[in-house]
Each structure stands twice: as structure tokens, then as C-alpha cells.
Chains A and B, each alone.
Chain A
């Protein structure tokens, strides 16, 4: 009946809640609000939203606890809203299953971009057949051909080592979404290894090979203290 997506806003500050609602409403989303963690969990269960915006600084429960509860039975995309300076919280949330984050204070365009990305990935994941290759990914100038294992930028081929290729592919598959250091390490090198240093080194090499100006990367963006994000072809920050 109603084609609009439903977004659950979990935020105890009325002011912020108001303006997020306004933005989302004017961008063709439907919204429902929760002020406490418990309310959030019950609303998520009853209303089944398409995305949850979760503020980590809730009065009654730890935001992370809400996230854990949600993830126990739902794969609904969750974007956490955190305050600046609480990096560890963000990383923890991402590792616990959150899809992305925004930092207060955030610009509206940023928020909208993240929501779009999260929804898109979710749909893609739902529609994916298990075991299928990703085919060809195009992000801006960048083309990643998984079947032939080739990466090219503006037509020119870029030579990547196997590890570098896997990293680029991983980021591209989750384009627009932030991936934590821990996640990337686990995916590339396996669990129970700590290859942080190797990751940095690899990222530096990738930047030098892919980016026009490695000092101002436009494809792979660093999120200090959290991880890396490949920009969305649809233009996100």
C-alpha cells in the first residue's frame, strides 16, 4: 500500500529527533520515534522498520545493548548515532553488527547518504544468491571485474597484489559502508590475527596505485579510529 520506507528513530533528545524526522519526512521516508531502548526494541519488533537510527547515548539502556538485542533476531540495517570522541563505542557498535555510523553533529546530506547506502546494501544482500560472484563493480572511474580479477581506473589497468585486490574488492562490495579495521582483517587474513600494521601498509600502497593524489583520496576514505570506506558511486561523503 505505502511504498515509503519506514525508519525507526531512537533518540531521547526531542530537538534532534524533531529535525531528523523533518529531514526524513521531506525525503520521502516514513518515521516512527522511540525515546528509550526498551521502546525501541518493542517498536522494532512490532513495526518492522526498514532501517533503525540508534543513538548510543540513551537514558535507560546502553545503546550497544539495544543493538545486540536487535541483532539477535533481525538483520535490519542499523545506523548508530554517536558523539564525537567516542571512537571505541562506534567501533564496538560496528563490530556488533551495526551497518554504519554518523557523528553528532552531522550534516543532513551525510545522514541521507548513509541511509541510502545502508538500504541499498540491505536490498542487495537480500536479493543475492549465495555463492554468486559480484560480477563487475563500477564506482566512479573505477572498474572492478571480479571474474577476470582486474581493476582499472579510467580505462587504465591498475596492478594490485592479491591481498590488495581482495581488500579493494571487499571495500567495493560494501561501497558506501564503513568497514572497521577488525572486520577487514578478519575477512582478509582470517580471525584471531592482528594484522593492523599490514593493513595500513596495504592501504597506503592501494592509495598510491589507485588515487590521483594519494594525499586526497577520492575512492577510499579513511575514518580515523574506525576503519575505511569506499565511496559510493552515487556520490556520498
Chain B
């Protein structure tokens, strides 16, 4: 047999496997793009749909906005349409696009009008474009309509032109990602005519629209923007490589954002600019001590800025620091930023602004050769009323311990000064002592309060004890006021410094802790093997770091429960709601759509937990869920942290999956090898008896009448012997097939051990009637779960071996006994025993090239290896040994589930 050939895999099968593993086909998006309502986008879309319908494509109208234009309405008829889903909202029944119905129906192409529409509450996704994303993910092609003012990055531009704020936007990446964008264009005059004729809006609304939105000027500008956007796309389409590799002169943008509303504008501008320059851009937010004091409104604003930036494709970085400018400057230097974008709203001039330099000035001062873009914003600035009081409150921690420290230090200082005076070591040092004491007070106590109090008190002490006149509060000498002022300033500065240092130290410590944790997780994950341990480890960390209950799914819950793993956090009330069917549905959605969902996101907001996919190579390996009960949503910081952790977990899971696959491939190839070995051995073993039969029968036939009677008898007896040998072999083979494909499944039923032994022995006796075989069974009945026929086979094989390997007069013993939870079967003889060199290979099915294979050694080889397979498939063990008094003993055990003996 050609060894090389069996190893080479079949190329066709490999191709097939590759093709099957290709990512699911994602649907294609075609956008009908226009610069205003009424240009004819829906009309064009429906027209094309009708064309598709005529060509026999499976087109379905998912949702078409009710139109007043009769021509448009006409086109709708004839198209199969999905009924809209009625949603009750504040007592009014609204009709929304029924996404689930569409997914069920699964047409080739679906029409969904108005991509930027916001869905009513109660619908799974917040925005219609998310519905469309789901459709695309499911492999359905989508036609949709978009107006230019709905694009996120153009939103503010359009707003400034038309003075109309459009709230419904779609992220630009959808537009860029679309397969085709068809620009629908008409002259503005034509559009105005249509408006007048009531073809766009109803006449009463048309009047209003004309005044604000639909002026000739506006329309022209909008048209220009739309055309430019479409043109951009065309040029991008034709230069795909440039899009990804060309970075114009190494431009890198950074946008500094705060909770102020002007940040949104900066972000959008940066997005457009970055797009134009093909440059990467980052959004930076610096957390200072003050940022902890902002109100809920500001926090929400900040979160929406970050989400906007994310949608537009920026990297988001959050840093901590005492002041914003130095932190930004550091980052700029390290990250190689070339352009900085900041927003500026007109702050009312306060006393503070006299002392603080402008943020822009600060940056320029630190960074010199940097391009700074300032985006002015005329929106109302953030209310600052809440801040100062809170700030003051923070720094006015009051605790008796610190008061004691203060008093103790002052007393010490006073006493030392007294000592100095008594020792005549110079009174000027007294001041130094007090200043020193103030320093120490500021160092040891938190906040400004104690430092300032300390300085005031020390001044008073100094006045009382050490200035003439002694023991009064008068300050006579001219210089004393200056001393007092200096001491006060010293105290204030030291306190301020100490406060800042402490804060920085705290922030740095927190940052370091985070990094350390990530490093630790990474290290642990690297050495963890096995899906279970990885999941356990991850759960541990999640609960520890986020102080919330966590649930991890390693398989889509629609496939079954066992993929979910839940851990309750000690700090939380019962979070077992994470395991309810509703939450599992959210996890299933995340699996299917590869995006996060749940509390705090745009999808399935009503869920009790926040769910994030663990992805590697655009495959979802798992889903992590954190409990957000009682409204404790995850802030941006935590989300980023969670994302970092999840990428580590993704790597570990992927590695695990690969190693599992490798192992199963190894097992498969092992089995193949075993099987071909077995076949080889069997065919070899078949030939011998067949040769004998053929030979003997031929002799008998050809020499009819010429052979002596006893010779004839011998030949016929040989034929019979060989036939019986073949029967045994065939029975062994049949046993192998009963074991089953996986090699581990055997159909077990409780059988009485003694009955099996009895039948096996009786069959042996039929073949070897003259051999001495002694059988002993225990008094109790042993009911052992087994496949009776297979175990009988094993016993027959073993006893036959004993027969073949021991002398004609030796005694063969078969015993059954019970040891704790297993049944033990032993077959022993007192023949020559097993040669030492064969003992380790006894149960392998080798095709031995031993020439000294005498007749009697035919029992070895396949028989024993099959026995081993059978016993293993039962979950038992088999071994062979030589008895000290001579002879061999073969022993196997079978587990007895539970106590089944009487």
C-alpha cells in the first residue's frame, strides 16, 4: 500500500470546506439620496422596485411613508408590502416598520423609507437605521431614502444654512458603507413649484415650510452640499487604496471635548476634516477634580458627545489630570498630533478669567508649533451655578482627627518657639518654626481648610506669644502685617500644592491599578486552558472590577442553556433576573448582530443588563452581560475598560477554540489510523484460516478415494477448526461495530454478571470440552450495566487465550468479584505466562512480522485489542500480569453505577 497517498488530503474537499466557512453574505444597501423632501427619492426607489418585480426578483415594501403625491402612491400598488406594526404611544397609535416580520419573511430586496427615522418607544431599536443594519446582517438587500440634512457630519452645516434643527440623523459610516448611492436631483425652482402645487406637503404645512426651509437660497445651498457629498463618494469609490493608505502629510487630529455643547460642533467639524484629509482623529476628554462635580445634565451631554464621536469613527481617549492643558499637551507630544480642535463658547467675564489664562493660550504656550482650530459656538454655555458650592463643599471636609492634628502641631510649634526664646537662639526663627508648622499641617490634612486655619492661628499665636507687647493681640511693629500676609500665602500655596499632589497621586494610582489589572488578566488568561476556566476567571474579574453581577454566554442562548454562566456579585441585591428569558433574548440579539445592546444603549434599552459581544475576526465568540439594575448604567470609562477586557477574553476564547479544533483533528486522525491498522490486521488474520480451508478441501476433492480414512478425518477436522476460528474472528469484528462511531457509546443494560460468565464458559466448553475450567462467582448477585454480548465476547477471547497459551492439563480459573463500586473479572491460567517484552504491547493490535508465530499465538493480537476497546467503551479498565507462582492473569473491571447488588 502506498503510504504517501493516504496522507494527501483531497483538494476538492478543502475548497468545499473553505467555501462553507466564508462569512455569511451581508446584504447590500442602496441609498436614494436627495437634498430635500420632495425631490423624488421615494418615487425613484419605488420605480426601481417595480422594475425588479418585473424581472422576478423577490421585492417587498417594508415601510413606505404615506405620500400625498398620487404618482408615488400609484407605484406602491402592485408591490407586495409588509403590514406596519402598530405601536401605542401616549394614547396615539403609531405605525412603525415591523422588523421581525421582515426578518421572518426574508425577501431578496426590501424597501425601507426614511432611513433617519426615530422609532417609537417600545420598538426594539431606537433608530430605523439600526433596523436596516439588522436586515443587512441577515443577508437582505435594502433600498432606502436619505436626505442630506440627515447625515451626522453635515448636520450642523445644514442647520446653519436653514436655521432648522434636524434631530434625526444617521451616522456617516452607513452612508459610506452603502453599496450604491443614487443622487436624486431636480432644479430648486422645480421643487418650489411642486411645493406650491401641494405635491410635497399638505397645503397648510407647505406654507410654513416655504417660509423657513424651502427658500430658493437654502435649496441651492443644500443641493450643492448633497452633490458634493455624492461626488466625494464617487472619487472615493474609484480610489479604494488611497482611502486607506494615503495620509496627507501625516495629519493627525485631536479634538478636546468637555461637557459643553460646543463640543458637538467641534466633533463634527473634525470628522469632516479628517475625512477630507484621510487622517485619523482622536477625541480627548480630560477628567479633572472639577469634572466629578458636574451635574447629571452635563454628564449626559458628555456621554452623548462621546457616542457621537464613536459613531463618526474617532478613537476616544480619556485621561485624568489636575489641569486640562498640561495633560493635553503631554498627549499631543506623545501621540504625534498635528492639529488640535477645540470649541469655544463665549464665557461671561468673571473674576476668575482675570487670573486664568485662556485654554487656547495655554495650549499654544506649551506646544508652540501646533495648528489650533477653534470652533466658535454661540449656543448657551453650561450653567455653572452648581459648581462653586460643591467645590467648596469638597474641600471643607471636617473631622475631629484633623482638628487635633492641627492643634497638636501648633502647640508643638509654640512650645519649640518658647524653647528657642528661652535659649536665646534668635527670635527670627520663631517665624520660621510657625511657617514650618503650617507646611506640615497642610501636608498632613486634606483640603484647604486646615491649612488656612493653621496659618491664621499661627499668625495669631505669633502675635500673642512672640510679638511685643507679649500676650496681647496687638501688632505694633510695622513689619508684622507683612509677616502675617506672607504666612497666610505660604499656607495657602502649600495647601493648594498638597491638594493637587494628592489628587494626582490618587488619579495616577487609579490608572496604574487599571493597567495592572489588565496585565494581570492577560497573564492569567494566557495560562488558562479550557473553556470553563476561562469563563470562570473572566467572571471573577468582572464582578471584582465592576462590582456588578455578570453573566457570560459562550454560545447563542437560542441553542440551549448550557452556554450561559452567571455570577452574583456580593455587593448587589439579587441579580438572577439576568438569567430570565428576556435577558437571554437580548444576548441572542447581540450574538446575531455583533453589536452591544441593553441598558444604556440604543437597542433594547429596557433590558436589565448591558451586553457586549466578545469578537475576534468578525465572529462573535461570546457575550458579556453586566447587571445595570436600579438604573446604575455603565459610564463611558467603564465601557472602555470593559471593551479592553473583552478583547483579551476574545483572544483567549479564540485560542481555546483553535486548540479544541486541533485536538479533535488529532483524535480523528488517530481513529483513522486505528481503523486502517485494524483492517490490515484483520485481513491478515483472515487469510490464514482461509488458506487452510481451501487447502484441505482441495486435497479432499482432488484425491477422492485415495486418502486413508484417518487422513481424511484429519483434514476435515482441520477445516472445521479453521471455520470455527473464522467465526470467532467475525464475531470480534461485529463487536467492534457495536461499540459505535465515537468509540465511547455502548448500549448498557443491567445484566447478571454470573449469567454472562456462564454462557461464555458453556460456549468455550463446546469447543474445548477436555480443558479444566473452574468458575467462581460471589454469593451476592452482581447486576452490572453492560452490553452482555460484548462482555461475553471479551470473556470468550480471554479464556480462549488462556486455553491456547497453557498446557492441555493446566487449570484455567475464571472469577468474578466485587470491589467497592466495580465488578472485577479475572481469567488466569498456570501456563508459561506472558513474555516480559510483550507485556506492555499486549493490547495493541499490531501486525507482527514475527516469523515465530506459531499456531498457538493466533489468539493474541486483534482479540485482545478488541477486548480493550470494548472494556474502555464501558468505562472500565483492563490489565494483564504474570502470577508469581507462574502463569498469566488477565483482569478487567466494569463500573457498577450505584449499589445494584442485592
* A and B co-occur in one complex: yes
A residues within 8 Å of B by Cβ? 84-85, 87, 105, 107, 197, 200-201, 203-205, 207-208, 213-217, 221-225, 237
How far, in whole Å, are A26 and B399 apart by their CA atoms in the complex?
Answer: 118
Residues from chain B with a CB closer than 8 A to the CB of A221 are: 758-759, 762
| Contact B789 A85, beta carbon cutoff 8 Å | yes
User: How far, in angstroms, from A226 to B757 measured CA to CA in the complex?
Assistant: 15
A53, B649: Cα distance in complex, Å: 69
| CB contact between B750 and one of A197, A203, A215 (< 8 Å): that residue | A197
Subset of 27 A-B contacts with CB under 8 Å: A85-B731, A85-B734, A107-B766, A197-B750, A197-B783, A200-B750, A200-B751, A200-B783, A201-B781, A201-B902, A204-B752, A204-B902, A208-B779, A214-B777, A215-B754, A215-B758, A215-B761, A215-B816, A216-B761, A216-B762, A222-B752, A222-B759, A224-B751, A224-B755, A224-B788, A224-B789, A237-B766
B754 contacts A204, C-beta separation under 8 Å:
yes
B752 touches A203 (CB 8 A): yes
Query: Is B727 among interface residues, defined by CB-CB distance under 8 A?
Result: yes
Nearest A residue to B814, CB-CB: A215
Instruction: A215-B754, A216-B762 given; name 11 further pairs at CB < 8 Å.
Output: A85-B789, A203-B755, A207-B754, A208-B779, A214-B754, A214-B777, A215-B775, A215-B814, A222-B755, A222-B756, A224-B759
Contact partner, A105, options B727, B762, B783, Cβ 8 Å: B727
Once bound together, how far apart are the Cα atoms of A2 and B318, in whole Å? Answer: 110
Residue of A whose beta carbon sits closest to that of B735: A85
Expressed in whole angstroms, the Cα–Cα distance for A63 and B750 within the complex equals: 29
| B776 (CB) vs chain A CBs: closest residue | A215
Instruction: Evaluate whether A217 and B758 lie within 8 angstroms (CB atoms) in the complex, with A201-B902, A204-B781, A237-B766 already known.
Output: yes
Distance (whole angstroms) from the CB of B794 to the closest CB of chain A = 13
B816 / chain A contacts, CB cutoff of 8 Å = 215
Structural contact, A216 and B775, CB atoms closer than 8 A: yes
Instruction: Flag if A225 contacts B788 (CB, 8 Å).
Output: yes
Given A87-B789, A201-B902, the answer on whether A224 and B756 have CB atoms closer than 8 Å is yes
CB distance from B683 to the nearest CB of A (A): 21
> Considering residues B750, B758, B788, which has the most beta carbons from chain A within 10 angstroms of its beta carbon?
B758
What are the 10 tightest A-B residue pairs by CB atom distance, in nearest-first order?
A215-B775, A222-B755, A204-B781, A224-B788, A215-B777, A85-B734, A200-B752, A224-B759, A216-B775, A222-B759
Asked if B792 is at the interface (CB within 8 A of a chain A CB), the reply is yes
- Asked if A216 contacts B758 (CB within 8 A), the reply is yes
Q: How far is the CA of A44 from the CA of B816 in the complex (A)?
A: 48
Measured in the bound complex, the distance between the Cα atoms of B774 and A213 in whole Å is: 10
A85 to B732, CA, bound (A): 11
Q: Are A84 and B759 in contact (CB under 8 A)?
A: no
Is B595 part of the binding interface, using a Cβ–Cβ cutoff of 8 Å?
A: no
Contacts of A200 in B (CB 8 A): 750-752, 755, 781, 783
Contact call B734/A84, Cβ cutoff below 8 A: yes
In the bound complex, residues from chain A placing their C-beta under 8 Å from that of B818 are none
Whole-angstrom CA separation of A216 from B756 in the bound complex: 11
- Tell me the smallest distance from the CB of A20 to a CB of chain B, in Å: 16
A64 to chain B: closest CB distance in Å? 20
B738: interface (CB < 8 Å): yes
A203 neighbours in B (Cβ, 8 Å): 752, 755
Q: What is the distance, in angstroms, from B418's C-beta to the closest C-beta of chain A?
A: 101
CA distance A203 to B755 in the complex (A): 10
B757: which A residues are within 8 A, CB to CB? 215
B848 to chain A, nearest CB (A): 28
**A224 — which chain B residues lie within 8 A by C-beta?**
751, 755-756, 759, 788-789, 792
Name B763's closest neighbour in chain A (CB-CB): A237
- The docked-state distance in angstroms from the alpha carbon of A224 to that of B783 is 14
A214: chain B residues at CB < 8 Å are 754, 777
* Residues on the B chain within 8 Å of A216, using CB: 758, 761-762, 775
Q: How far is the CA of A205 from the CA of B752 in the complex (A)?
A: 12
Within 8 A of A (CB), among B169-221: none
Bound-complex Cα distance A205 to B758 (A): 15
Shortest CB distance B626–A (Å): 51
The answer to whether B775 touches A213, judged by C-beta atoms less than 8 angstroms apart, is yes
Which residues of B sit under 8 angstroms from A85, Cβ to Cβ? 731, 734, 738, 789
Instruction: Give complex CA distance A204, B758 in Å.
Output: 12
- Cα(A197)–Cα(B783), bound, Å: 9
Task: Give Cα distance in the complex from A225 to B756, angstroms.
Answer: 10
Chain A CB count within 10 A is highest, among B723, B755, B762, B775, for: B755
Closest Cβ–Cβ distance, residue B844 to chain A (whole Å): 25
Give the shortest distance, in Å, between B450 (CB) and chain A (any CB). Answer: 84
Report the Cα distance A216→B636, complex, angstroms. Answer: 79
Residues of the A chain whose Cβ atoms lie less than 8 Å from the Cβ of B755: 200, 203, 222, 224
Task: With CB as the reference atom, state the residue of chain A lying closest to B752.
Answer: A200
Residues of chain A within 8 A (CB-CB) of B752 are 200, 203-204, 222
Task: Tell me the smallest distance from the CB of B267 to a CB of chain A, in Å.
Answer: 74
Q: Considering only CB atoms, which chain B residue lies closest to A84 in the complex?
A: B731
Instruction: Give complex CA distance A205, B727 in Å.
Output: 34
Measured CA separation A197–B781 after assembly (Å): 11
A36, chain B: closest CB distance, angstroms? 26
Q: Give the chain B neighbours of A222 by CB distance below 8 A.
A: 752, 755-756, 758-759
Residue of chain B at shortest CB distance from A213 = B775
What's the least CB distance linking B760 to chain A, in Å? 9
List, in ascending order, chain A residues with CB within 8 A of B902's CB: 201, 204
- State A213–B738 Cα separation when bound (angstroms): 32
A204, A213, A217: residue with the most chain B Cβ atoms closer than 10 Å: A204
| CB-CB contacts below 8 Å: B764-790 with A | 766, 775-777, 779, 781, 783, 788-789
| CA distance in complex: A215, B766 (Å) | 16
A residues less than 8 Å from B789 (CB atoms): 85, 87, 224-225
Give the Cβ gap from B817 to chain A, nearest Cβ, in Å.
Answer: 12
Shortest A221–chain B CB gap in Å is 7
Q: State how many angstroms separate the Cβ of B455 from the closest Cβ of chain A.
A: 94
**Alpha-carbon separation in the docked complex, A154 to B766 (Å):** 26
Q: Using Cβ atoms and an 8 Å threshold, which residues of chain A touch B759?
A: 221-224
Q: Nearest Cβ in chain A — how far from B873, in angstroms?
A: 16
- Of all chain A residues, the one with the shortest Cβ separation from B783 is A200
Complex Cα gap A203–B788 (Å): 17
Q: How far is the CA of A214 from the CA of B780 in the complex (A)?
A: 11
Inter-chain contacts of A107 with B (CB < 8 A): 766
Using Cβ atoms and an 8 Å threshold, which residues of chain B touch A208?
Answer: 779
From residue A210, how far is it (CB to closest CB) to chain B in Å? 13
Residues of chain B within 8 A of A217, CB atoms compared: 758
* Cα A165 to Cα B754 with chains together (Å): 21
Residues of A within 8 A of B723 (CB): 105
Q: Considering the chains assembled together, what is the distance between the CA atoms of A222 and B755 in angstroms?
A: 6
* A residues in contact with B781, CB < 8 Å: 200-201, 204-205
B177 to chain A, nearest CB (A): 61
**Cβ of A201: which chain B residues have Cβ within 8 Å of it?**
781, 902
Residues of chain A with a CB closer than 8 A to B814's CB: 215
Q: Which A residues touch B788, using CB under 8 A?
A: 224-225
Q: CA of A126 to CA of B788 in the docked complex: distance in angstroms?
A: 37
Chain B: CB-nearest residue to A83? B734
CA distance A214 to B731 in the complex (A): 27
Please report the C-alpha to C-alpha distance between residue A217 and residue B761 in the assembled complex, in whole angstroms: 10
Interchain nearest-CB distance for A47 vs B (Å): 33
